[in-house]
């Protein structure tokens, strides 16, 4: 009887240990999910260059190896919309067609800025119809200057490279809110022109 009781206690202790390990693993996974699903937008800290500051002239490259300058002077009245994306980011894939549509409606020059290995970015570009015909640049330097560390993020520049807006976005409402905020403080930005997005290489 004593042997049976001892065996039962050992089994119970082992079961408790396994349960404790499972709880720790579950807590870790919940923490990871909480981080990934954390609300994006206004409450995020935005270090680095911010609204009102000028982006330095940076010569970056497209995935095809062509030079692409950010912070260069654009035609008068033009605005550039940078969308920072990563191949492994599911929210980026959901947001990118929305951003392209809104950029076309508002006459903004849309540029995708990719983060991650080039083969993954090339595969992403080839598989996403909304990325066809637009530049996808590799922008590690630009992300460092702007301190973009969460994606998808949008940055809007005026014709002189001044930052008009900078924010994380994950819904159409957030994207339109960012652009409407610019239209309020900078009335020269058209809200809905119906013009096609112009891409400057």
Tens-place pLDDT, residues 151-166: 999 999 999 999 999 9
Is a pLDDT exceeding 90 seen at residue 95? yes
For the domain made up of 58-185, give the CATH fold. Answer: Glutaredoxin (3.40.30)
- H/E element holding 115? strand 109-115
Give the residue-averaged pLDDT of 36-54.
62
Instruction: Please give the model's pTM, rounded to 2 decimal places.
Output: 0.69
If pLDDT is split at 50, 70 and 90, which confidence band does 38 have? very low
Give the residue-averaged pLDDT of 24-34.
62
Starting at the edge strand found earlier in the chain, the sheet holding 163-168 runs 67-70, 58-62, 136-138, 109-115, 80-86, 153-157, 163-168
């Amino acid at each position: 009887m004593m042997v049976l009781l001892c065996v039962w206690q050992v089994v119970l202790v082992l079961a408790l240990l396994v349960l404790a390990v499972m709880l720790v693993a579950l807590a870790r996974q919940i923490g990871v999910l909480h981080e990934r699903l954390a609300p994006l937008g206004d409450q995020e800290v935005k270090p680095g260059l911010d609204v009102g500051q000028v982006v330095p002239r940076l010569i970056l490259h497209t995935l095809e190896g062509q030079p692409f300058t950010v912070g260069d002077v654009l035609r008068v009245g033009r605005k550039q919309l940078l969308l920072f994306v990563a191949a492994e980011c599911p929210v980026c894939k959901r947001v990118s067609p929305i951003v392209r549509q809104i950029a076309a409606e508002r006459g903004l020059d849309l540029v995708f800025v990719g983060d991650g290995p080039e083969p993954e970015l090339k595969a992403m570009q080839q598989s996403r119809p909304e990325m066809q015909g637009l530049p996808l640049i590799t922008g590690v330097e630009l992300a460092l200057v702007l301190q973009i560390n969460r994606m998808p993020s949008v940055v809007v520049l005026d014709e002189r490279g001044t930052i008009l807006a900078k924010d994380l976005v994950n819904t159409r409402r957030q994207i339109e809110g960012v652009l409407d905020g610019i239209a309020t403080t900078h009335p020269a930005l058209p809200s809905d022109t119906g013009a096609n997005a112009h891409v400057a290489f």
